[in-house]
Structure 1
């Protein structure tokens, strides 16, 4: 109960509470709207596919899966370069610029006349969208303390799931109101409207995104608040150019391998949801035919479950003092049970629906595992944290690029049981095992830091508190822009 009371009403000064409220508003609104648009654009490819695009463009075999794989390849290419760009280029410029590019590419998709056109567009769209997820987790780790990070990561992740959920409803509405208007079918209007929705969010970012604590020039933050923001988090070392020595440090760091392996395994436990298996199952159902509205609306229950699960676990692990590893065990149980249900009761449509809905709770790992990485790397070199966070998502997408084709190709619908369910069971067991390994390693690292008297020790915390008090007291101190 003491932990819950402390979480609900933290012991912060009025100045710090005001600062957190400001950065919550300006950072979370932009990042969440950005991720909402990101996932709206992504998920609506499947919505368009089941709403007439497959017939209009003459899709064959597993071409939808190939398009998703090509998008993933572009996404992989952009991961680490995008996060390093955020380290050198103002996020207020870089984030919205990439949003503008992917909005334009989304609208161009409406003019496609064959699947190969979409393949080319989606590759470059993957590059443009690559900064959103890992870039935001880097920014969140730059502004928020360990006690604040989980819930903010959860809210951010939930916004992407909301984009997935609302995409189905938007397609249903467009199909009713705009289909065949101005000579365009409903799925083409979908991509045009998606792009138009994204543009105002990008403009908002250009105007008001605050960059990082050490580089912010946001007009809504006073000099005192900027100093307080810097004092709340570990001091950032002076920016330095990339060097061979840094590359060696990265490649020799166990942080890199520990968290990349974690997210490779965890990313594949999301396969039921990320590959839209419920929508494909419905479209290829052996006995029942669903309407376009049903094909778009029923699968929205999956991200809805994901939103609830993400917010629940992100908040709970904050309340429990950062025990992010608990989610690894929940996902292990979920993956095994839902796969077993589909294998054993495939003839029961209700059971298959229930299993796919439950599998949506696996999305909770996005917020909690990236928060875990930010927590663990909080006192390491800032550029190392940027690379590790980006490498986590890159590693996962490298596997996902071929994993989806091998186990969850669209032409495997409706069963996906040849090997997909067994692959999920194997991933779930592996995740539980690796979570345990990582838990013991991070506990040992924390103990070593405490013995050395690092910032995580009592003396380090006291020193950070002294820096904060000094910064607040110095009303005239101005944190200059060092980008």
Structure 2
């Protein structure tokens, strides 16, 4: 690769991710998640094996687009499934654990990259990065098999072998006052319901904007900075950015537990926005010492704390309409990735390393915008609850003319 090829590969992957987002989440209304998720993971694994054999960057473009289609099933799909199992007072912690597990994977990835490069680079005539894709594929396929056997679906349809009949009934019964599950066929009335409410617009805008605070980590700016300033080995360039992920994991778990206890979601987005503003200023002032820049990049890991909180918030807001909930969750990630498709090319091109001056200014702006949209969503949710005479934590009943909710029992 040369020039901005790295950014282009990420952008093409993002395009596939965008295209597959809503269709994949709607498929969960038709096909059991226990079947759909592992099938998509097998596709992802096969494509990962293919990545180890590419001979030019154009072949990688095609594979990454298809990988985006497959990968788009899992993140928001899992948040949808979590919203079907847990109460509002439980959802933040579970969303945080799920998000953190992905971050642990990212943390492990950096360590794996360094280990593969150090031990397998040149082995059997293959470059280290080719071995990395092979190992990723080997890891993926057994996990897909695990999903076929163990994944529990949603309470109304679960056939998990480790749950008794009484436990399945309890799982459905305990959420009837909070989460409405609709098994009616998909129809155009769903679009009418979604577009006539503020939820789709507000939640989509919230994550579209706040998700860009993750640009420090998603574009590996610290790794690009270390490579550009020189003086660091390849393993060090792989290892040191792992500190960003470590901060992200701790922030996510602490904030998620706190939100469940307090039932307040918005302070987490304030915390991550302020952290990103401080980090950006530290990097923007280029005369600051190297140690302060390390601190700034690590502090920016706090941006990931908002991910679990935002999706838990959306699950709570849309708890009264199962189909709307699926589309809103997918749309949130979709619109964020619409921005991601071009955002790194404009604000974080590899050619801007090590300073990323435009990117730091953009980060300050998007952090301020996140504060404004967070207030807007908080205000609209509060107004909706007051309009129905409900408390902030009680779901609002939808109009019965839209569709009939079926009671769920084991």
Question: Which category of TM-score, normalised to the shorter sequence, fits these structures?
Answer: over 0.9
In the other structure, the counterpart of 1:355 is: 296
1:56 alignment partner in structure 2: none
Alignment partner of 1:410 out of 332, 341, 350? 350
Query: Structure 1 length as normaliser, TM-score?
Result: 0.80
- Tell me the distance in 1 between the aligned counterparts of 2:301 and 2:239: 15
Q: 1:208: which partner in 2?
A: 150
What's the counterpart of residue 382 of structure 2?
Answer: 443
Larger Rg, first or second structure (1 or 2): 1
SS of equivalent residue, structure 1 residue 270: helix
1:299–1:346 Cα change, 3 Å: farther
Identify the match of residue 122 of structure 1 among 48, 57, 64.
Answer: 64
In structure 2, the partner of 1:279 is 223
Partner of 2:334: 394
CA contact under 8 A between 2:286 and 2:355: conserved in structure 1? no
CA contact (8 A) 1:282 1:295 kept: yes
Contact 1:259 1:388 in 2 (8 A): yes
Contact 1:449 1:456 in 2 (8 A): no
Q: Does 1:314 align with 2:251?
A: no
1:131 counterpart SS class? coil
Alignment partner of 1:268 is 2:268 = no
Tell me, which stretches of 5 or more residues in structure 2 are unaligned? 397-406
Residues in 1 aligned to 2:266 and 2:87: alpha-carbon distance in whole angstroms: 18
How far has the Cα of 1:345 moved from its partner? 3.6
**CA drift at 1:390:** 0.3
Q: Does 1:334 align with 2:334?
A: no
Q: Is the 8 A contact 2:223 2:241 kept in 1?
A: yes
Could you tell me how far apart the structure 2 residues matched to 1:176 and 1:424 are? 34
For structure 1, the 5+ residue unaligned runs are 1-58, 458-467, 472-477
Q: What is the CA-CA distance between 1:451 and the residue it aligns to?
A: 4.9
* Stretch deviating more after TM superposition (336-345 or 227-236): 227-236
Please report the RMSD computed on the Cα atoms of aligned residues, expressed in angstroms: 1.9
1:172 matched to 2:111? The reply is no
Give the Cα–Cα distance (whole angstroms) in 2 for the partners of residues 254 and 346 of structure 1.
45
- Separation of aligned partners in 2, 1:245 and 1:175: 53
Q: How many Å apart are 1:245 and its aligned residue?
A: 2.1
1:433 aligns with 2:377: no
Instruction: Please give the per-residue CA displacement for 1:264-317, whole angstroms capped at 9, x wherever unaligned.
Output: 1111111111110000111111xx321111011011101010000000100111
CA contact (8 A) 2:96 2:253 kept: yes
**How far does the alpha carbon of each residue in 1:236-261 deviate from its partner, in whole angstroms, 9 at most, with x for none?**
44422332222122122210001000
Please say if residues 80 and 391 of structure 1, whose CA atoms lie closer than 8 Å, have aligned partners that are also in contact: yes
CA-to-aligned-CA distance 1:71-97 (integer Å, 9 cap, x gap): 000000111001000111000100000
- Pair 122,436 (structure 1): closer, same or farther in 2 beyond 3 Å: same
Equivalent-residue separation in structure 2 for 1:237 and 1:277 (angstroms): 42
Displacement of 1:440 in angstroms is 1.7
Is the Cα–Cα contact under 8 Å of residues 450 and 456 in structure 1 kept in the other structure? no
Work out whether residues 3 and 351 of structure 2, in 8 Å CA contact, stay in contact via their aligned partners in 1.
yes
In structure 2, the CA distance between the partners of 1:223 and 1:407, relative to structure 1 (3 Å rule), is same
**TM-score normalized with structure 2 length:** 0.93
CA contact (8 A) 1:263 1:393 kept: yes
CA contact (8 A) 1:345 1:351 kept: no
- For the residue of structure 1 that corresponds to 2:2, the secondary structure is coil
